[in-house]
Amino acid sequence: LSCSIFVDHGDSFMIADPDGEKPAVRIIESISCEDQGGLVRFTVPDGIPATSLDPRSSYLISDISKRSRAQVLNNTLWPYFKLDGDPANALRIGNTSFLGTSVDDINRLVLSCGGIITETKTARTVRFQSLAQALTGGNEFVMTDYSFGMKEQQLHAALIGILEFDAANGRLPKPNDEADADVVVANARLFAQACRVLNQATGSNTALCLTEDQIDETIIRAYARHCVIELQPIACFCGGVAAQEVVKCSGKYTPIPGFAHFSFQEALPNPPPPLAERQPQNSRYDELIAVYGSSFVLQKLANLNYFLIGSGALGCEFVKNFALCGICCGPNGKLTIADADRIELSNLSRQFLFREHNVRQSKAVAAAAMALNPGPRTVANPMNTHLKVQAIEAYVGPKTETPALFWDPFWENLDGICNALDNMEARFYVDAQCVKFEKPLLESGTMGTSGNIDPIVPNKTRTYRQGGNAADQAGVPMCTLRNFPHLTDHCVEWARDKFAELFVKPARRAMKFAADPNTTITEFKQRAAQAQHGADLTSLATEAEALASTLRLAAEPDSLRKRHACAQAAFNAFHALFRDQILDLIHAYPIDARVKDVAGRDKGAFWSGHKRFPTAATYDPNNSAHWQFLVATTHLLSQMVGGQPRKEEEDEEYASQERSQGFAADLVASLSMPIYARRAVDTSDIEGTTSSSNTDDEDAYSRQLLNAAIQTMETLATNPPTDIQPEDFEKDDDYNFHVDFVAACANCRALNYAIPLTDHDKAKQTAGRIVPAIATTTAAVTGLVMLELFKVVLDMPNTALRTRQVGLGVNVYPSFDADNLIEHRTTETMIRPDPSTLPEEAFEANGSVKREFWTKHTSVAYPNPHSVWTKLPAPEEAALHWKVTDLADWLSNEHGLKLTAWNLQCGVATDEDGKPRPISTRVYPPIEQLDLNKLPDLTLSKPKAMMYLQQTHGLRGSSMMKYLAEWDKYRKIGHLPENFPPPEKSTAEMTLIEILQIKGNLDLTGRKRVLLDGLSCSIAPAKPDDTDSMDVDEVDVEKLAPVLLKLPG
């Protein structure tokens, strides 16, 4: 459970790129005129992590406005330096006094010039120690022990002890041999003693700074007992790190500067198994047995029932690790692999189980086959023919909670879950399932040469959602994407958003319209009445026109005319996006616009800093971005509305004759140029005021567009088109025009703002949120995950579990104890009142408010304390016949809680952006169900109708008003229905099972447990000793553990 890696690149080795990261980019705010070094102040571009600049790099200045005197600095390269007292976001670039217009300007003039600073990584030459030098001297090891316990020095002394033992005996110490371990410990002490003498004699610390009395015998002895043992997880980790060092021979990344010592001795069983358990058994698992014992390896590990979710880069490594460690290889073992994806050609470089003949096969099925029987087309032996594996080609999520896939009995029978996922939504879902069924979760991820490992164990650690790694990265502000891009990535993100606006949202709205035209028309009319002018009216008109245009395209019966109409719509979209919107922005903020605050004070030029002044586009048939946009948009619109056959999944010849510049030229020849009409710009999130106000002409045009769109909807309402299909973005198909559109659209946008262009692969990577997996990182990460799996199966305490991060590129390997449980506790907080509401006697002499006038707020947690893993298990009979009143009585009698409300989630709605939104329904207090048979005759006057309801049915108050409102609705219609539906059963009369099924729309087939969330309760706080006779008001429980309802079956 220890390993050492040594690296020596000789006396002169050049490191060209120390970290392999993209060069840092910063936006220049200002440059001062100083003869001792101009101070360049900068900001971090939107959407870019705020990290420190590398002082070893140089920095290129570019893109300074031609209107600034500082433009002479464009394309100049400067070394990094700063002076004491300089601000954080700044650097100095040398003598800039020449920027001043006179002597008086120097040392006081600051130019607000805009521009960009781009890091230029400077190659540096480093010298490495030889193996002989590194063995005997030096204390600079890669830091791997973040407890600062000098473990790296201890491991180095242990290594020397092992090498000395080998030199004397011609072999390494035997496994678990205490006599051999004694010799190694003695050798380590002698080495430490020799180092002490050398350091004293030379008056320096050239040798290891570890004295003989500082030798930790526990570490050295464990190292010696297991040094000859090759554990598969350690080999996997060490192999990944060593392979990355081979990559570093190219000069990219920072090599290990000599020795890197790693120790994972916290994974050792404590106490160790009996020596008889650790004896060899002539088994392929003898190495594991020598450390963990035969019972653990051949019984516990072999018979685990584990769920591996994902079979990509990480998943392939996990399948290999499980097979080689014998996990799920026993008679009762089972490994279930789930992955809905198919293998793409681009996967082969990093998902090592797959070969070219596996392309288009299920990832889960192919991975399982490669572990059991690679077949004749692969020159490889089976990893483990005893692996009990089931491969399922399916996503893991709410829709697959079915008897055929992943229902409750499946989750309940698992011993643990190992994630190999690449998105947050799936991670959060699996995390919630692990909380519900109280199962351990092994979570990990990679990003280039970096990775993370997070063990999540019920009632020991916090969950994935609660941990720091659960947070999504901050995105780019919409204001930047909409009007002020300054990086190529901003243009790609904007293009990705336009993809949804053109090919997803209008199609979804059109499908909704086809299902219920009148409701859609009514909604637009209501919104039209509310949107009076300005950007709100423009936005609504644009949305309505997008829907109307989609309906018109889909309603065209002739396929040729439909294709032509789609081409015209694509041509219109080009001018709307890259001509009209830019002209609107320039009209609102001309090149000489100024920023003014609310008081009218001038704050400087508007087009400065990260704001680039744009240029409107004119369609150029020879500009590749222009014609590629037209081609991709035409095809996508035509597919969306059924104007051409939709692409099949494996069709690589799709529209192959219609992707050229000539095809685009033929289209344009038959298209008409759209007329520009000025529209209002949304300035709600733009600092300062516009240089021109909104005009009546702008509003009139938007109103005209809106009314025409509504008229189109009314015309098509009687026979709405139905052959409409949203183009959901798919990054992995290079022939469906999706990435083609994003790349072309991003480049057209970049041309507007003089931003460097992108290409197909970079656009695919950015728009698809792809972080390329590196085989070295996945190997290292999955090896460490296996150690956490061993600890979980051994039921080790939280202090033995490790949250780890790895940085193979820069040799960073921090590890910490797994995050402790987050416990919810009842707390009391004193709240200072508003002084203006207090009498004079409430104040001290110094003016502060006396403590007796403060109010106490109690935040109640129940149970106190409890964690997210805690549940309130209801009795077995609760699932048989309990009603809400029984639940309320049980909460009161068993827990002292008063049920005040229950809002049950009854479904999930998907908004137009495709994002899920939970929907809830009220269960308690029960809503009175109306019996429409009690409605009065519609010919009665309102007072007589009220009298009828009161005298005939005994209705009073709010109940009567509900019936009266329903009666009034039918009176406006003019008649009552011939047959009223029977009144819906009240939740007060339903059992809990009926409530879940009817109100919660929950299919209970195969369900074993349901968490009753959405309960609201109050509780009487504990009374102080001197208030026995006083009534204490109940307080709301702010943190309530869910009730667990176990279902029979």
Give catalytic residues, as residue numbers: 479
Q: Are 456 and 464 in contact (CB under 8 A)?
A: yes
Residue 591: partners with Cβ closer than 8 Å, 6 or more residues away: 607, 613
Q: Are 269 and 293 in contact (CB under 8 A)?
A: yes
Residue 580's nearest CA partner among 742, 702, 740, 743 is 702
Residue 883's nearest CA partner among 979, 992, 757, 980 is 992
Residue 320's nearest CA partner among 371, 369, 380, 354 is 371
Distance (Å, rounded) from C-alpha 212 to C-alpha 214? 5
CA atoms within 13 A on the CB side of 639: 19
Q: What SS3 state is found at 672?
A: coil
Q: Which DSSP category does 316 fall into?
A: H
**Sign of the alpha-carbon dihedral angle for 952, 954, 957, 960:** negative
Distance (Å, rounded) from C-alpha 927 to C-alpha 988? 9
DSSP 774-818: -HHHHHHHHHHHHHHHHHHHTT--GGG-EEEEEETTTTB--EEEP
Give the residue ranges of DSSP H helices in 285-339: 286-292, 294-295, 313-325
Query: How far lies 447's CA from each of 219, 452, 775, 871, in Å?
Result: 32, 9, 11, 36
Largest CA distance in the chain: 115
Q: At what angle do helices 942-953 and 957-973 cross, to 10 degrees?
A: 130
Distance (Å, rounded) from C-alpha 692 to C-alpha 682? 13
CA atoms within 13 A on the CB side of 220: 30
Name the residue type at position 866: H
- Among left, alpha and beta (phi > 0; psi -120 to 50; other), residue 669 is alpha
Distance (Å, rounded) from C-alpha 696 to C-alpha 707? 16
Distance (Å, rounded) from C-alpha 524 to C-alpha 425? 32
Count the residues in the chain: 1049
Q: Are 764 and 736 in contact (CB under 8 A)?
A: no
Q: List the structure tokens of 10.
A: 């000789």
Q: List the structure tokens of 534.
A: 């300005």
Distance (Å, rounded) from C-alpha 640 to C-alpha 642? 6
Residue 72's nearest CA partner among 54, 52, 51, 95 is 95
Query: How far lies 280's CA from each of 8, 293, 484, 766, 814, in Å?
Result: 37, 10, 68, 52, 34
Beta bridge partners of 828: 858
Distance (Å, rounded) from C-alpha 138 to C-alpha 131? 11
Distance (Å, rounded) from C-alpha 276 to C-alpha 279? 6
Query: How far lies 565's CA from each of 561, 631, 782, in Å?
Result: 6, 13, 53
Q: List the structure tokens of 52.
A: 């420190």
CA atoms within 13 A on the CB side of 780: 30
| Number of other CB atoms surrounding residue 235 within 10 Å | 15
